[in-house]
Structures are given as C-alpha cells and as structure tokens.
DNA sequence: CTGTTAGCGCTTTCAA
DNA sequence: TTGAAAGCGCTAACAG
C-alpha cells in the first residue's frame, strides 16, 4: 500500500506538501503539484479514507434509513424510484451512500451512535415515523437530516421535509371523479399518517366543494403497499346495501390488485365499477383499462432531497418544507355515470 | 465526543485496558470488564469507526455494485428483491452496506481504488459484465467478491457466482408449452449474456427432446426490463405469414406489457395467443389470465450471496458456483391447442 | 512556498 | 493482568 510518505520520498518533498498538492491547494505551484500528482499516479497511490476521515471528521458518507417494512425494502416500487434519484444526486457530488439497518430503529438500537461513530455527514429518512425514539434523537442531533415522503406535522418547521402535494392532488382527483357523475364514492385509505391525513383533507374538501356531505362510510382505513387488506375492504364496501360507484384506493399497488378482485366479483373496471389509485407507478399504467391515478414525481423528489441534504451539510440555508407537484393521470378506470 | 482515553481516566485504568475490555478480551477479568463497560455506557461512548478501521484495516463494510442501467437502479423489481435479501443477511452479521456508484465502472472510473481506499471487506456484483476492465481488475484483486444473477462462463471457476438454474427451468417451461400442443413457438430473448445463453440452451434442448427442429425464426433477440423493444418484436413476429401460437418473453416485465400489446392487436392472451414470462414477479401474478412464468427464488439467492461473501471474507472455502432452484409457475396465459 | 510537528482514536506488541 | 509506547495514514497549525 502506497502512502503519502512514499510519494513524499519519491518526489523529494515532505508529506504535507504532497497532501497539499493532492488536495489542489493553491499554495503549491502548479508545476510542483503536477509533478507530485504524476508520481502519485505512477506509484498507484490510493488515498486512505479512514485516515482522512479520522483527521477531518468528515466521512463523505450519507446514510439512508427507511421505515418501509422489512418485507418490502427496496422492493417498494415508489420508494425505489425516489432512492434512485436521491443516490444519483449525492453521488454526483462524490458522496457515498451507507445503508442504515432497520434494526437501529428498535428500542435497543442505537441509530444516532451508529451515525456518529461513522461520522455520517447526513441522513435521509424515508417515510419517517416521528414517534420512534431513535428518530427523535436523530432529529435533535446536529446531523443534517432530510425526511422524505412521509413525516409528521410536528417536525415540519424544524427539519427538512420533502413530500408531494398530496392534499391538492387528492382534491383534484376527487373533483374529477365527482365531475364524472359519481356521488357515492368510498376512499379506502392508508394508515393514519401525515400523508394520509393530507389526502383525506383534500378528499373532504372536494366533496364539500360539490355540496356532498361527507359521511363516515366514505372513508375506510386500510394499509399501504398491501394486497390483502385493501382487497378485503373492497369486498366489504361492495357488500353494503348501497355500494359506491367509485372506489379510491390507498395506492397503485392496491389498485392493480383490485382489477383482479373486482373481476372475481364479476365487475368490469371502468364500466360496472370505477377505481382510482395513487402514485403513478409505471406498472400500473399498463393495466387495462388504464388506471386513473396521481403521479408522484419521484425523480424530482429524490433530486430535491439530494440538493437539500447537500445544502444542509454545507450550511446553506433552505426552506424546511418542500412540496413537489404531483400530476393527475386520467385513465379509463373511472367511467362517466349518469 | 467521548474517547477511550476518557473512559480510561474515569475508570482509573489505561487506554489499552479499556480497549481490551470493550473488545471482550479474556485477559481482562469479567469484573473489570463490566465496570469499564458500565462507565463507557454512562459517558455515552461511541466507538470511532474510522480510527478502528485505520488501525485494523477492516471496515466492516461491504460494497454493492450493479450493472443495471442507471435508469432502473433499485427500481428493477427482480434485483431489488435480491438486494433486500442480501442486505438483510450481511446486516445480521454487523456489516454495513456501501453503494458503489456506477460511475466507477466507466473507463476512467477507479472501482478498485475506491474499494481499497475504503477498505471494503467485500463486494457484491449484481448482473456483472465481465468484459468491463474495472470488473476484471476487481476480480483479479484480493477483495472477496460474489457475482450474482448474471456473470460469465470465464469467471465461474475462480469467482463466487450465484444464479438460478436458468437452463433447466427454461427447458421445463418449454417442455410444458410443447405439452400444451404448441409447435410453432418463438422465444423473444434478452441480450446475449450468460443468463440468456443458458436459457436458450434449455429452450433448444426441450425442442430437440420433442423432435421439433430448431429454426432461427424461433429465436428473436430483444432486451431485458424493457417495454418498447419486446413489444416491437411481438408485433414483428405476429406479422409473419405463419405466426407462432406461443411467445416466450425475456421476463415478466415485458410479459405484463404484452397483455396490452396483444389486446391492441385484438388477441386475447390464453385464448387466441399464449405467452410466458420469466422471473415470477409478484406484480405479474395478478395479470388476468395469470401469467405462466418461472419464479426465481430471489430471497434464497440474496441469502446465499450474503453467506458466501461472509465466508469468503472469513477465509472459509466454499464452492464457486451456486445454482439456486427456480420454479415453474403454470398460469393460464398458455392455453392448450389442438 | 515548504517542512516540522503534533495528533485524530484506536489497537497491539512488548515489557512488566 | 495491565500499562507504555508506537503507529495506522492523513491533515493542518505553526514556523520559517
């Protein structure tokens, strides 16, 4: 292993000069810099990150921690898209990514110790549950943090948060469904987290706007990224004496499964029954008839998260809350009724 | 920041004793060990990984590098599953994961320098292209490496490789299709990589077994994880004067898109035309009619990769090639013809 | 412009 | 059973 000392010896200067030359510090004349760099190259020098890190307290590493259930992990279609974009953004600035184990979130896990011991320069929290002690500690610490997709009202004014305009787009989606003539609609929503609450607000606002009174029957709580539970809820809702003509699902994942569920009940989507999803997954767009949904701009979300965390690391002030516009996709899964 | 020195001072012993106590070295009597650990705990001691790494040359970090096109990344449904399982396996043994940027694979990238400079204990290569110089260097190095899913015949006897039994399962799938009465079938396959070559061998072997002569028309090269190209190929193939009754697609991803493509041509899958996929993606199993495909045991693949790399890191000898059994899933997308 | 020096926090011989 | 001392490879005052 070639060290700075070896280069120093080979080029007849001191280790500090080599260090400075390699770091492109102006003090060293270009000629000397080039010479040293050339020698370093010839010797096959590879800088030792641990040594640099130990000295400078900067690891050039950003951690990612995710609250997505273990079963899903990267296999979560929406989050995979966000992460891809985030990773691309920070890698462009020469940061490495360290994945943080979900085990660190358990009661006896030590998330913050893990981050500090590794000198992580920042942490991205995906779909945060702000009630978890480990996360609260992390947020209180001096480590730059960005929370993306889900988080909580409580942290929104003190932590960098990035999310889609869930409320507005759910409003728009509902408004569209109402405009198609549906009056009896049911929203099978996800767990009671911020994202869900926002969407419910949009849902209710659109109803109100159209003069339709909201009743508790219009809202059924289910789960995100799940096949079984929303399916069960669909069946329950359709077994009612006065079943809805349109069902809104927690996400596209549940929606694609709904095509099957409904077919098994003898109902044709977009004809006998209308459905809508949320997320805008590529794979949901090939369903027939095409799914009506809200496309979340995962690429922009990830990119924004990358920019935000880099700014935060470099002590550049930015706003805490960043709302990324989503887009209503009008498929054919919601039909006109009279 | 609390260091070992602080603990030494607080507990009236030397730094080396603290280090030994914390490392649970038998020399130190249990009583002293416990006392020191307690004090460390009270002080909120967090071991500095960089210092440890610098000293021991072990980073407790495993790198992951993927050849999946940048566009896909973690959004590649099959690989995401494999990675999730791999990550789980190594995290259980206290290793961290560092993601290696695809930029390192470019001609002027320095993959090996990156790994060495970070003292990575091992590297997982996902879907390797063994023609890439950076990978060749990595394989020549002393860094433990495991290649998963795709790799090359050339490295199979010197590098730890993990893959599905592609050939056998393609044989089985083809055999099944033939048993359903299909004689004119076309395999729209992926790029010319090891995995594809194996599948083609299985495909041809099954044809031979049934006494059907292989003709070049039966094989059309396309791309993996792509919507456009296989779709184009489907249309070309069906425009032939004597179109096939069954089309095998490169993967489930292309297969789910095929439902749409075929419908647009006025063909009903599992009735007017038969199709089969490969991979066994969850999302492909909800298509109607259910897709006939080969399920790759991604969980076991990832787990095996984790075990293998850990053994390799710990200098435990294991076989170089590990073939993971896949499973034929008989859906309804292949119908019986007479 | 460059070298000397000290030290980041840890492990590990060696000696007691 | 423990401590002293050296050093991993690097950076950054400070001094010249």
A48: left (phi over 0), alpha (psi -120 to 50) or beta: beta
Q: Are residues B87 and B147 in the same domain?
A: yes
Instruction: Give mean pLDDT, residues B251-276.
Output: 96
Buried b (16+ CB within 10 A) or exposed e, A171-210: bbbbbbbbebebeebbbbbbeebbbbebbbebbbbbbeee
**Subunit contact B54:A50, Cβ cutoff 8 A:** yes
The predicted structure's pLDDT at residue A123: 97
Secondary structure (DSSP) of B223-280 = -SS-SHHHHHHHHHHHTSSS--SEEE-SSHHHHHHHHHHHHHTT--BTTTBEEE-SB-
In a domain, A334, yes or no: no
The predicted structure's pLDDT at residue A338: 82
Judged against a pLDDT cut of 80, whether residue A70 lies above it is answered with: no
Instruction: Give mean pLDDT, residues A271-296.
Output: 95
Distance CA A84, CA A299 (A): 8
Burial tier of B239 (Cβ tally within 10 Å: 0-12, 13-18, 19+): exposed
Gap from A59 CA to C6 C1', Å: 22
In this predicted model, what pLDDT tens digit does every residue of A214-256 receive, in sequence order? 999 999 999 999 999 999 999 999 999 999 999 999 999 999 9
Whether B257 and chain A come into contact, CB under 8 Å, resolves to: yes
In a domain, B56, yes or no: no
The predicted structure's pLDDT at residue A27: 82
Q: Are residues A69 and A91 in the same domain?
A: yes
In a domain, B330, yes or no: no
Q: Are residues A159 and A302 in the same domain?
A: yes
The predicted structure's pLDDT at residue A146: 97
Least confident span in A21-25, B76-80, B136-140: B76-80
The predicted structure's pLDDT at residue B71: 64
pLDDT band at A26 (very low <50, low <70, confident <90, very high): confident
CA proximity to B221, closest of B194, B197, B190, B261: B190
Whether A138 and chain B come into contact, CB under 8 Å, resolves to: no
CATH number at residue B83: 3.40.50.2300
Report if CB B25 to strand C is under 7 Å: no
Q: Are residues B42 and B100 in the same domain?
A: no
Q: Are residues A253 and A319 in the same domain?
A: no
Q: Are residues A153 and A188 in the same domain?
A: no
Q: Specify which residues B98 forms β-bridges with.
A: A98, B63
Judged against a pLDDT cut of 90, whether residue A312 lies above it is answered with: yes
The predicted structure's pLDDT at residue B72: 63
Strand, helix or coil for residue B164: strand
Report if CB A17 to strand C is under 7 Å: yes
In a domain, A191, yes or no: yes
Range of the domain at A200: 166-296
How far the first Cα of chain B sits from its last, in Å, is: 77
Q: Specify which residues B276 forms β-bridges with.
A: B248, B292
Q: Are residues B303 and B159 in the same domain?
A: yes
The predicted structure's pLDDT at residue B27: 81
Bases in strand D with any atom closer than 7 Å to a protein CB? 1-13
Gap from B16 CA to C14 C1', Å: 13
Judged against a pLDDT cut of 80, whether residue B214 lies above it is answered with: yes
Judged against a pLDDT cut of 90, whether residue B235 lies above it is answered with: yes
Strand, helix or coil for residue A328: strand
Let me know: does B293 contact B256? Beta carbons within 8 Å: no
In this predicted model, what pLDDT tens digit does every residue of A131-144 receive, in sequence order? 999 999 999 999 99
Q: Are residues A75 and A147 in the same domain?
A: yes
Q: Are residues B270 and B148 in the same domain?
A: no
Instruction: Give mean pLDDT, residues A38-58.
Output: 95
In a domain, B286, yes or no: yes
Judged against a pLDDT cut of 80, whether residue B252 lies above it is answered with: yes
Mean residue pLDDT across chain A: 94
Contacts of A303 in chain B (CB under 8 A): none
Distance CA B310, CA B156 (A): 19
**Subunit contact B119:A84, Cβ cutoff 8 A:** no
**Subunit contact A84:B98, Cβ cutoff 8 A:** no
Distance CA A84, CA B101 (A): 11
**Subunit contact B74:A74, Cβ cutoff 8 A:** yes
Q: Are residues A281 and A306 in the same domain?
A: no
In a domain, B83, yes or no: yes
The predicted structure's pLDDT at residue B44: 94
In this predicted model, what pLDDT tens digit does every residue of B274-309 receive, in sequence order? 999 999 999 899 999 999 999 999 999 999 999 999
The predicted structure's pLDDT at residue A72: 63
Gap from A23 CA to C4 C1', Å: 20
Q: Are residues B216 and B247 in the same domain?
A: yes
CA proximity to B274, closest of B285, B297, B252, B258: B258
Report if CB A164 to strand C is under 7 Å: no
Report if CB B156 to strand D is under 7 Å: no
Instruction: Give mean pLDDT, residues A59-74.
Output: 84
Distance CA B128, CA B132 (A): 9
% of chain B residues with pLDDT over 70 = 99
Q: Which nucleotide is nearest to B14 (CA to C1')?
A: D3
Q: Are residues B307 and B186 in the same domain?
A: no
pLDDT band at B70 (very low <50, low <70, confident <90, very high): low
Let me know: does B187 contact B181? Beta carbons within 8 Å: no
**Subunit contact B50:A54, Cβ cutoff 8 A:** yes
A127 or B69: which carries more pLDDT confidence?
A: A127
Mutate to test the interface with A, among B41, B45, B49, B275 (most CBs of A within 10 A): B49
Nearest CA in chain B to A117: B48
Place of tokens 């006109």: A336
Secondary structure (DSSP) of A56-101 = HS---EEEEEE-S-TTTGGG-HHHHHHHHHHHHHHHTTT-EEEEPP
In a domain, B137, yes or no: yes
**Subunit contact A54:B51, Cβ cutoff 8 A:** yes
User: Residues 37-56 of A near strand D (Cβ < 7 Å)?
Assistant: 45, 47-48, 51-52, 54-56
In a domain, B334, yes or no: no
How many domains are there within chain B? Answer: 3
């Amino acid at each position: 292993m070639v060290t700075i000392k070896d280069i120093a010896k080979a080029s007849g200067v001191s280790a500090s000069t080599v260090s400075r030359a390699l770091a492109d510090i102006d003090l060293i004349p270009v000629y000397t810099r080039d010479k040293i760099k050339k020698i370093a190259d010839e010797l096959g020098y590879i800088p030792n990150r641990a040594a640099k890190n130990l000295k400078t307290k900067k690891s050039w590493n950003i951690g990612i921690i995710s609250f997505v259930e273990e079963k899903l992990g990267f296999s979560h279609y929406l989050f995979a898209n966000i992460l891809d974009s985030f990773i691309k953004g920070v890698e462009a600035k020469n940061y490495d990514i360290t994945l943080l184990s979900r085990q660190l979130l358990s009661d006896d896990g030590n998330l913050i110790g893990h981050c500090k011991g590794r000198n992580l320069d920042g942490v991205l929290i995906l779909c945060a549950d702000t009630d978890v002690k480990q996360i609260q500690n992390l947020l209180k610490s001096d480590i730059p943090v960005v929370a993306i997709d889900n988080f909580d009202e409580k942290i929104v004014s003190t932590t960098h948060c990035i999310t889609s305009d869930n409320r507005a787009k759910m409003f728009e989606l509902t408004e569209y469904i109402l405009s198609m003539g549906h009056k009896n609609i049911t929203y099978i929503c996800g767990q009671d987290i911020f994202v869900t609450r926002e969407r419910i607000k949009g849902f209710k606002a659109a109803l109100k706007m159209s003069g339709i009174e909201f009743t508790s029957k219009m809202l059924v709580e289910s789960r995100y990224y799940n096949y079984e539970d929303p399916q069960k809820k669909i069946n329950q809702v359709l077994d009612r004496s006065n079943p809805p003509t349109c069902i809104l699902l927690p996400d596209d994942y549940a929606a694609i499964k709904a095509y099957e569920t409904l077919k098994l009940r003898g109902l044709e989507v977009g004809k006998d029954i209308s459905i809508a999803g949320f997320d805008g997954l590529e794979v949901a767009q090939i369903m027939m008839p095409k799914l009506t949904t809200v496309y979340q701009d995962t690429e922009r979300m990830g990119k924004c998260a990358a920019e935000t965390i880099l700014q935060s690391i470099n002590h550049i002030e930015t706003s805490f809350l960043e709302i990324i516009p989503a887009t209503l996709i009008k498929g054919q899964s919601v039909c006109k009724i009279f």
